[in-house]
Amino acid sequence: VSQLLSARSAAAADSALAGLQGGVGAAVGGLRAALLDLLVELEARLDFDEDLPPLDLPWVKRKIGEVQARVDAALRTQRAGSLLRRGLQVAIVGQPNVGKSSLLNAWTDSDRAIVTPTAGTTRDVVEAALVVGGVPVTLLDTAGIRHSEDEAEMIGVERSRAAAAAADVVVMVVDGAAGWTAEDGEIHAALWGGEGGGGGGCKVRGPALLVANKDDLRGAGSQHCSGTGSSSSSSSGSSTLRSSSRDVRSSSSNGSVAEEEGVEEAEAEGLVLPPGVRSTFAGVVRTSAAQRRGLQDLDAALLRLAGAPQLAAGGVAWAVNERQAEALLRCREALSRLSESVAADLPLDFWTIDLRSAVLALGEVSGQEVGEEVLEAVFSRFCIGK
């Protein structure tokens, strides 16, 4: 109930509601029933082996494998569920006047940040919220990082570094028309380390994206995809925002994002990255905040980086919480031991010990214990003693 009340997006509310309606319980109940079915077969042969046909070993192995796969699938929902509940904090960093505030405004379809032609307008961290593919996202527009004699601006720069170090994801913005500059290199060194970096202990440890903004100012016909080797039309990723909550499922797979390969080939016209910089970023996205282009590509890249592609593909019906995930992990460990016992051809007693451990772990989620039901099922299924 608390997860439903505190939901920050429709997808988070749907996931919490699915949990209330028994989504997790039904899934775990199905797993438990499958393991109990196997346990009944084993227990029967421990006590009444002479009265029963030989155990179907291929069936046992197949049953264990099927349940293991379903347990793994349930565990994978934890990451998505955590993202839906907690959301992502994304720090936008870069030089002054590369379009960080404009990007925040375009990304959230708002005028949250003040934008002027004067470099250094943003002095403090400005927050704005949006929903990307069902995930609540808090954007942090930070002060442009540069050396200044202005005390207030330097305080803002230090806060920018601290925000980047604490963020879940860092988006570094560069001027896509000017390309990578020496000043960008200094910021990279300050945030990620390197010669002349400085910045004390405020180093970025989390994942990062590189955004080449002001793409509309590049020469005509140079809409290359960074790292994909293909060209994209001017309409790719150019849909105008209508809401701060966007569905990224329709984002073009040919958008200007260097994704699976990282940015090893990200040397599109006007954006040649130094060798020491390329490995920092998991992807490169070209945007035009002024024309609101490339934002869906940015959404998709952010979700991939956060490890939630299934959310972009249509969401999750339910998700396990931390307590449930711990129980599922114990179940998976018990099933792994069971598989080893089967492979080593150990006595059935060893098999049932691990199998009972797996069932007990699932019972912590469903609230059920292994009692007389196994013995009752043995007599019911095999008509023993009648």
Query: Among all chains, which residue has been given the structure tokens 């007599």?
Result: 379
Judge whether residue 266 has pLDDT over 70.
no
Contacts of 173 (CB under 8 A, 6+ apart): 92, 93, 94, 98, 99, 100, 103, 211, 213
Judge whether residue 284 has pLDDT over 80.
yes
Predicted pLDDT of residue 150: 63
**SS3 assignment, position 281:** coil
Judge whether residue 193 has pLDDT over 90.
no
Length of the chain: 386
Q: Which helix (H) or strand (E) holds 183?
A: helix 182-192
Which CATH number is correct for 2-82+319-351+365-382, 1.20.120.430, 1.20.1300.10, 1.20.1420.30, 3.90.105.10? 1.20.120.430
Predicted pLDDT of residue 343: 94
Judge whether residue 173 has pLDDT over 90.
yes
Beta-bridge mates of residue 171:
92, 209
Region 270-288: mean pLDDT is: 84
* Percent of all residues in the chain with a pLDDT value above 90, rounded to a whole number: 24
> Cβ-count burial of 30 within 10 angstroms (0-12 exposed, 13-18 middle, 19+ buried)?
middle
For residue 317, give the nearest of 19, 7, 102, 44 by alpha carbon.
19
Judge whether residue 60 has pLDDT over 80.
yes
Contacts of 295 (CB under 8 A, 6+ apart): 106, 107, 237, 239, 241, 246, 287
Contacts of 188 (CB under 8 A, 6+ apart): 172, 194, 277, 280
Question: pLDDT-based confidence at 319, cuts 50/70/90?
Answer: confident
Extents of the domains making up the chain: 2-82+319-351+365-382, 87-310
pTM: 0.61
- Summary mean pLDDT of the chain: 73
Q: CATH top-level class for 87-310?
A: alpha beta
> For the ranges 99-103, 116-120, 253-257, which has the lowest average pLDDT?
253-257
How far is Cα 288 from Cα 175, in angstroms, rounded to an integer? Answer: 10
Strands, sheet with 208-213, edge to edge from the N-terminal-most edge strand: 245-246, 126-132, 135-141, 88-94, 169-175, 208-213, 284-286
Taking only the tens place, the pLDDT of each residue in 86-99 is: 888 899 999 888 88
Question: pLDDT-based confidence at 226, cuts 50/70/90?
Answer: very low
Predicted pLDDT of residue 338: 96
Cα–Cα distance list, 200 to 161, 167, 196, 210, 220 (Å): 10, 17, 11, 23, 42
